[in-house]
Amino acid sequence: MSRPNANRSRGRSASASGEQSGFTILETVIALFVALVVGFGAIGLFLFSTSFNGGASDRARALAIAQERMEELRSMSYSNAALAAGTTTTTVTSGSNAANVSDQRTFSVTTTIVNDTTTNPTGRQKTITVTVTPAAVGGRFSPGGVTLLMLRSSDAVGNN
C-alpha cells in the first residue's frame, strides 16, 4: 500500500512548475514609494513642530519681557516723569545663552501711556499698554506679539 499524497508532493518542485516565490519589481517599487511618502510626511511633521516650538519659545520670551516692563512701570511713583503720557519704543535682545547667538532674539517693546479722563474725570488714572513683538521672525512661526494693559491710578490724597 503506497501513500498517494506523499508521491504527489515529491513529484513537482516550485521551480519545475514555473512558479517562483518573491516580490516582483512592481511590488518593490510600490513599497518603496509608500515608504518615501511616509518618510517625507514624518520629515514635514518634524520641521513644522520645530518651527511651532520656536514660535512658542518666542511668545514665552515676549511675555516675560512685557511682564518685566510692566513691573518696572508699577514700581514707579505715579508722578514719575517716566509715566508721562506718550509712546516709547525700545529694542530688547533676549536669549538664554549669550555665547549662542542663534538663541538670541530681538524684540520691539512699545509702551503707550495715556492720561485717562474718560473713565476718571479727575485725571488721576493712566492707561498703560505694553506691546512686545518679535523684530525679525526668520522663517519661524510668528506668535504675533504680546500686549499687556494696566490701569494705574493715584490716591486721591497723596501723590504716589
Instruction: Judge whether 73 lies within some domain.
Output: yes
Instruction: Judge whether 117 lies within some domain.
Output: yes
pTM: 0.62
Count of domains for the chain: 1
**What are the C-alpha distances in Å from 11 to residues 5, 6, 15, 21, 87?**
10, 9, 12, 18, 97
Instruction: Judge whether 122 lies within some domain.
Output: yes
Query: What tens digit of pLDDT does each residue of 70-126 get?
Result: 999 998 888 888 888 899 999 888 765 555 556 678 889 999 999 887 776 776 788
Q: What does the block give as the cell for 152? A: 494705574
